[in-house]
Structure 1
Amino acid sequence: MTIGTLGVVALAAALVTAGSGEAVETTADAATPSATSDTEGSGGLLSAAGLESALDARRIAEQEQAAERRADAARAAEQAKAREEARAEAEAEANAEAKARAEAKARAQAEARAKAEAEREARLAEITLGERGEHVARMQERLRELGYQVGAADGVYGAETWQAVVALQKVAGLGRDGVVGPATKKALDNGVVPVSRFGGTGVEVDLGRQVLLIVENGTVIRTFNASSGNGESYEALGARYVAHTPSGSYSVYRQVDGIRESSLDLGSMYRPKYFTGGIAVHGSPSIPAYPASHGCVRVSNAAMDWIWSWGASIGTPVHVY
């Protein structure tokens, strides 16, 4: 009995020590057997109660540890879930950005293709100097209907047709390149024509737009490309002059039905009609789309022939503005 009691006490001490992590001292008296059986019995009962208490403490400690492990595991699972959700969200954002970039790139490529196709179609739709065909003849006929001088609707885009196209572009306020593109075609379709500023019957020279108009009873019946003085100074026969076309209201006071050489050695004038001093409306082989003369009003030789056939005799009003 004494040995059994000592074994129980030792086991309880070991369990308590293991559960609590604290060292338990065993006194010499506890290790010495009691002299009486009553002491043994009493000691055995007390040792059993201590063992039960130690076991309860260990169970509680184990339960707490298990609870802590479960809590740790739950926290770890929650953190892992949060990391997975963050990873999934980042991946979704990356995929969305990649998709947006791909869509933007596709749109840009589509727009570039559409622009290139529109430019190609516009180039194909242009009518330029030297071109031939029915489409040129239709353009020429429309120019004639609007009063821009074209000799014949022969389907050949030649020099005279170029003069008519440039005159239209000037009146419409377009680029003066002679190329019949979308804007010029629109001007043709819309029937863009100049309006007389003075009315009556006579000749009008619009310096701003660089066109010459033939007016009958207040209506413009012919419009010609023209080129007036360029405003620059020049030297002739040892003297300096300014290439200026004066504005004002004049009338034809002299005309030469042929070639007239300039008295200042400035070149030839085809069938000139003088309206002030040495300034005349005359034909020339060079009628650019901008002011380029020494002061006279240049039109093409074909235009000058038409003006002579129309009249513009001595006394015909000439308004320059």
Structure 2
Amino acid sequence: MTAGTLGAVALVATLVAASSSEAQETPSDTAAPSSTSSAERSGAAAPDVALVSTPDARRAAAQEQAADRRAAAEAAKAAEEAEAAARAEAKAAAKAAAKAKAEAERQARLAEITPGEQGEHVARMQERLRQLGYQVTSADGVYGAETWQAVVAFQKVAGLGRDAVVGPATQKALDDGVVPVSRYGGTGIEVDLGRQVLLVVENGKVIRTFNAASGNGESYEALGAQYVAHTPSGSFAVYRQVDGIRESSLDLGSMYRPKYFTGAIAVHGSPSIPAYPASHGCIRVSNTAMDWIWSWGASVGTPVHVY
């Protein structure tokens, strides 16, 4: 009895074990799916999440593009403004340079004293000429004919251009006090043909300097004869004088208060004394200069040196 019962129990255990083994070998309908998805099994690729466009992404992209356009526009505007500023600066610089040049030219003109001017600056120039012995009767502040003669005589002595304009070079020579020096000393008249000036010398010192014009060296005809406008050089003396107007014996014009020193050659006054040789041989000076020479003396016997 006991043995039969044990056998039955063993049989039941065997049947149960066999049933469990079959159940494990047969998959159930509710078993967990494989790690391979249905999409992979069907051959389709999984969607790329980065390529998915959403409203927020599109809006952000649009905003970024708008910002880029604004930045580009601002940069272009800044470049245009910089270029306009550079043009304006260049224009302003050119205008300033032109203004400075015009002012410099104006100052240069103001620094020049020309015939016909009037004012204190003319009077100062005249007074300086007087101090240096160039003939200016009065420092009246009017640049007239007598002052012209004095300025030209000064420019001749200083070796400057004979334009009668008192510019920087002439003014410097005035400041430096340029005066001629007597070659012969003593007392008398000296005529410097090279510089075309007449000097009145007293005790070896030049006390007056006048603009003068001597013979121009050209040929001319008078009363049917041919002559050369020549002024002889050498040491002479006044041998004759006429206190009035003397007509040339060769019909060459009038001579104002002439003082003859050799032949028909005289120092005399004339209304025309240019800055260059222009006479037929005589020594021309202005009428006011001749009046001064008569008032000084230059009587008969006064030495006249021409060189």
Q: Distance in 1 between matches of 2:229 and 2:100?
A: 48
> Secondary structure of 2:195's match?
coil
Aligned length: 219
Deviation per residue, 1:253-275 (Å, 9 max, x gap): 00000000000000000000000
**Larger Cα Rg: Structure 1 or Structure 2?**
2
Question: Is 1:263 aligned to residue 249 of structure 2?
Answer: yes
Question: 1:120 Cα deviation (Å)?
Answer: 2.8
* Corresponding letter in the other structure for 1:160: E
**Paired residue type of 1:156:** V
2:226 is matched with 240
Matched, 1:161 2:147: yes
Alignment-derived partner of residue 69 in structure 2: none
Residue 78 (structure 1) aligns with? none
AA of the residue aligned to 1:155:
G
Match of 2:162 in 1: 176
> Secondary structure, in 3 states, of the residue corresponding to 1:224?
strand
Letter in 1 for 2:234: G
With normalisation by structure 2, the TM-score equals 0.68
CA distance in 1, matches of 2:267, 2:96: 54
Show the 5 A alignment for 1:1-321: 117-321=103-307
Q: Which moved more, 1:132-141 or 1:301-310?
A: 132-141
Unaligned runs of 5+ in 2: 1-91
Deviation at 1:107, TM superposition (A): 10
Identical pairs, percent: 88
What SS does the aligned partner of 2:304 have? strand
Q: 3-state SS of the aligned residue for 2:155?
A: helix
Structure holding more helix per residue: 1
**Runs (5+) with no aligned partner, structure 1:** 1-105
- Please give the secondary structure, in 2, of the residue aligned with 1:273: strand
C-alpha change, 1:235 and 1:113, in structure 2 (3 Å) is: same
**Equivalents in 1 of 2:302, 2:160: separation in Å?**
31
Distance 1:255 1:126, change over 3 A: same
**Deviation at residue 122 of structure 1 after TM alignment:** 1.1
Instruction: Tell me the C-alpha RMSD between the 2 structures.
Output: 2.0
> With structure 1 as the length reference, what TM-score do the two structures score?
0.65
Moved >2 Å (runs of 4+): 106-120
Aligned partners of 1:314 and 1:240: how far apart in 2?
31
- Tell me the secondary structure at the aligned position of residue 160 of structure 2: coil
CA distance in structure 1 between the aligned counterparts of 2:156 and 2:93, rounded to whole angstroms: 39
2:299 aligned partner, one-letter code: S
Displacement, 1:138? 1.0
